[in-house]
Structure 1
Amino acid sequence: MSLLPDWMPGANQFVSNDPGDELDVEREAIRQCSLSAVFQPIVWLREGSVLGHEGLTRGPVGSPLHAPDLLFARARALGLGVELEHRACVCVIQRFAALRLPGRLFLNVSPQALLAAAHGPSDLLTLLAQAGLEGSRLVVEITEQSLGASWPELSGVIARLQRGGVQFAIDDLGAGFSNLGRWLTLRPKYIKTDKAFVSGIQEDLLRQQILRSVSDIAAVAGAIVVAEGVETLEELASVCDQGIACAQGYYLARPQAQPQRLNWPELAAALAGQRLDALRCCSEPGLPQDDVQGWALQLLRRVPSVTSQVSSEAVFNLFLSKPNLYTIPVVEHEIPVGVLKRSSLIERFSLPFQRELYGSSPCRLFMDSKPLIVDMHTPLLTLSRWLAEAEGHGLAADFIITGRGHYLGIGSSQDLLQALNRLQLRAARHANPLTQLPGNVPIDRQIQRYLASGLQFAVCHADLDHFKPFNDRFGYRLGDDVIRLLSRVLGHHVDERLDFLGHIGGDDFIVLFRSGDWKTRCERMMREFTSGMAQLMVEAGQGDVQHYEAEDRRGVTCSYGLPTLSLGAVQVEPGAYQSRHQIAQAASEAKSQAKKQPGSTLFIERRGVGSLQAA
């Protein structure tokens, strides 16, 4: 009688009492079993684009070994693990190429399979070439605990694949709790965290801290973190809050033989709602506020929308049924194309015969086709300026809020004014009393936002030279005027749409530049401060002062010139710095280098190597 499973080829004809014969048939069955490929997208969380797809293998349909874990476990038990992996690689790579999927292909390959395939017909570079794919399209995932003793032999294989453009990822980081030494050795481009760290992360501070720590280390290493196992909206929102760049999981998309286009607008809208709920939960006095404050997202309200083909009568009835509804967005294929205003339509239909004549006409006849449309990340101060300057809108108008161009909801000017008032009250608590510029707390928060978002920016620490002896000689009132002068000069040369200006205290200021021409702006700051300083002395009745005498810090009388401006700058590339503390230290050291040079000086620190530029 046969002891083999019914699903195996030839099982019904096999009759033997020899276990060895049975294993031989089982091995042959696994060698001949059909394999198929499914793909699960890996998503950039900030923009919703697809980084790539993880290719996964499935066994014979309808059999117990359809699940890959069971299939590969049984193959390894029969000594066929590496052979089956090679077949799986061929299947996944060919199917990925046939489907023309976007992004990179993430493929699980064991060190043993990599070694066995090197330079042979199953070599990954050979398989990619046969499928018409560049080496740069492949990311090989190696599980953290599988590196083991094979690493010395594997390093040469990995180096050869990397020369061919293949990138590497450590998979299931933390699953085996092994040390981080392999991270140092492999230097992977991608880090995929084990799903155990994502499950329930929204309610577990330890899981949140672990992911933040991994993200910080990856930023220093120049790696990209992918959080695996995201299965709920709450988990997705929390993963975003920890600064994780990419995610993968059932909530985003399940593995499919033919992956469908990701519905990111719907996911973004759900995330926006989740963040608003969190914001409302934190709105009680004394509780911390979410960073979403200060963005248009804070003002988001969900209202009914219509397409441009809906009848004007239907829109009129919708307004009548909802007395507090003043604006209805007109949306086509998730893109806003206009708005219908309550006052305009009701006024029009109140005229004789207008409702009878135009009630069945499409509502696009009465819509405003040029509404104010803003992205969810638009700062509130910028939004208020746009509303004030927008022709035909003004501060009484509602506006449409979008995420990556797709409709999310609307915002009202009344809500905007209330939010601005709250922001002003909060800002006043953290502002420098002399200049009214943001102080240390807002500066730290802004740097942290930039780091979490992976933005490229420059940090410039501004400080006056010989300011203490100037204060001692001319008095603190004139000294305060000098600080206010510096505040105005710096403010003249920052772009408020991109840059951030803060006042640390005394004569120390911080500028966070996202303007591409920030070096030119710094040079203008130094020139304007020098001329402004001379003019200030004249206006203060001190005449054309060139030099004066005052005591230094040791009580020795010295000759000094008027205060000059030293600027120490640090260019922050994504992943170059782990925390705002490192950035502050680097900017302070750059400022110290600038102060060693006479006159107004800009010193730029580039990855620890200074480059001097003098005014």
Structure 2
Amino acid sequence: MWSKLTKRLRRFSIFSLDRRSTITSLIGQEVRVGKTVVLFYVDIVKMTDIENRYGDLIAKRVLHIFERILPGVCRDVLEIKGQVLAIQKMWGDDFAIYVSFPQGSHEEECRLLSISVQQQVEAQLNRQISFVNRGDLHIHIGYAIFHGQDVVKEMYTSVKHAVHMAKYGITSEKYTFVTQYHRLLQQEEIQMRFMPIVDLRDGMPLGWEALARGPEKTPFYSPASLFAYAEETDTVFRLEQICRKRALEHLRYLKPQQKLFINLDPRAIDDPYLLRGDLLKLLESTKLNPHNIVLEITERHAITNYSVFRKIIEEYRKKGYLLAVDDAGAGYSSLESITEIYPDFIKMDMSLIRNIDVDPIKQALLETIVQFAEKVKCKIIAEGIETERELETLMALGVTYGQGYYLGPPAKGMVHISGKAMNFLRGIREQKMKKDREPRVFAPVITDVLTKTICVEKQAKVRQVHQIFEQNQRIESVVVLEAGKPIGLIMRFQLYQVLGGQYGIALYYERPISQIMNTNPLTAKKDDQIDEVAKRAMARDSYHLYDVVLITGDEGEYIGIITVQSLLDKMASIKLEMAALANPLTGLPGNIQIERELHARLKREEQQVVIYCDLDRFKWFNDRYGFEVGDQIIVRTAALLKEAVQLYGGTADFLGHIGGDDFIVITTPHFADTMTTYIIHVFSSYFYDIYHKRNIKDGNDLSMSMAGVLLSPGRFASVEDLAEQAASLKQVAKNMPGTVFVSDRMDERILAADM
């Protein structure tokens, strides 16, 4: 009988740590024949406390009894369902038990077996050992199932998993939740929600932030709960990897100018999938580039090693990814992170945004950050916008982008801004346009600063474009054409970034340039105004801020390029010229600018109306009451015309001061009648205080004669011909009493103030 028992016990033995290869071999054999292998981890609760309290000899005796009990309990309990392969003493009082079960064994069976092992070991321990003034001994137990994909790797991860399980207590609710959480990780049961990040200027999406959710109707649906379990079980990196993988599966829904924001914990920043995986191939298949991905470096955890962190960040930049500092204002070292990362975006934490409309300190702080961001060429994104008042305040402070439940909650798809928020932004924009619609002054057209660069067809190889840059050190851009029309752009630094990556040359060198070009470069028409193009150019994201602007003709054909530097230089010279040539009294464009504007308008293929405005009886007022009153009347008249253009004109309208009491307005036929009707209606009220102070009676007051000349394509050969027609019409107006508008349009309309 004794020999039979000895033989049975020898079927498994206690291995030391240097016998792991034998265990690996046993597990591999079982998995290959379709068995399920489970690791059970056991240890004695507070073994160190026993050693400290009762001494080393007692502790050794407890451990000796524990080692003697364990094989028998494993035989009696675990071999009812399976076969014990080995018991491995890991360290101290920690043991790993490897058991093979028939295929189909599930976790509930493992949990019940664990409870039985725990109860029997504790019962036998406490029968053989008792302590004065101390309760019963207890053991921890946990388990992990081998999936058989990589046994060597799973030897480590399974022990780690089982240890985490054991510390919660096999019968506790927490134990059940941790078990479910590990199963979630194994099966990658993560789903994504996408929250729009909106351009507050027009309501269009800059992109979407990918937010993780666990399975619905589970404790892990909330991201806070999901990542709390990740922290507890030390699986943050694994969970984040799954989240990024799920998020990047949606890249195909992005347009070339849109971006996908994904989170990156500083502790899990060295992600091989992003740096050394197949992501570039995925981007290529979706016709996107790494700059369509913004990596949000969260501020919730401190960056402990900045030297290593900087090196990894530089690797991301070389690949072409954009970077954002997330949760700025709520983290450990916001300013240090910003200086180290040099981000493209700074995402302000919702704690700073909440109730900012009624908190002057938050407003002052954010205003300072906005000014800082402008200087270092990065964009601010306000998180957690939940009310209309918060949004309005953020816009007033100059914040460019925002996200929050008011703009749009997280959704399964990449939805746009909510209708309510869009209507609000549209209203704000219309108010701003109305307020800022100052009459446009003369500005040169794009062709004044046009230059050329080398162009290639879309089939050209990346190798050829690289050679072009190498042979032409002075050019910074190559334009990609198809049938004479620009379809893409490649900048020198962008090409070198792509080729400078670890696999850049191998992946792209012999492929068409169309696969890595910027498919959505900024383009402008040859007749566009420089100031408008400059605004559009400077509104681009930092990655493309200094890309050249492509210029096209009437049919969309390629004409040339302009650089951002040339735009800025020209705008600076325009401002100096405007200051020098403006009328010193009213600040409006003077004669030189008026003449340039008229020359430019004569070339346009569209109908316009040139309105010459002349004050009646101005000389009498000037001579009788002095130059001070005369200047006051001129300034009031300029203010009236400005107001009329702002309220009833268009964005392309022009207002100039010819000199003395003569002004000029250029608008379209659509606006001319409404604008002049308003001037006629309010003219007298603008000078009421002047009349009242000097007791001027009706009949001696000011009036204005306005002559409208229709400027249609080909009607006038020169500015002189136009002026001659205006002079004759103005004479007609001056022969009529009151403030009047006379037009030479087909209907020969005459508008006059009521007499």
The verdict on a shared fold, with TM-score over 0.5 as the criterion, is: no
Q: TM-score range by the shorter chain?
A: 0.3 to 0.5
TM-score by length of 1: 0.44
Structure of higher CA gyration radius: 2
TM-score by length of 2: 0.37
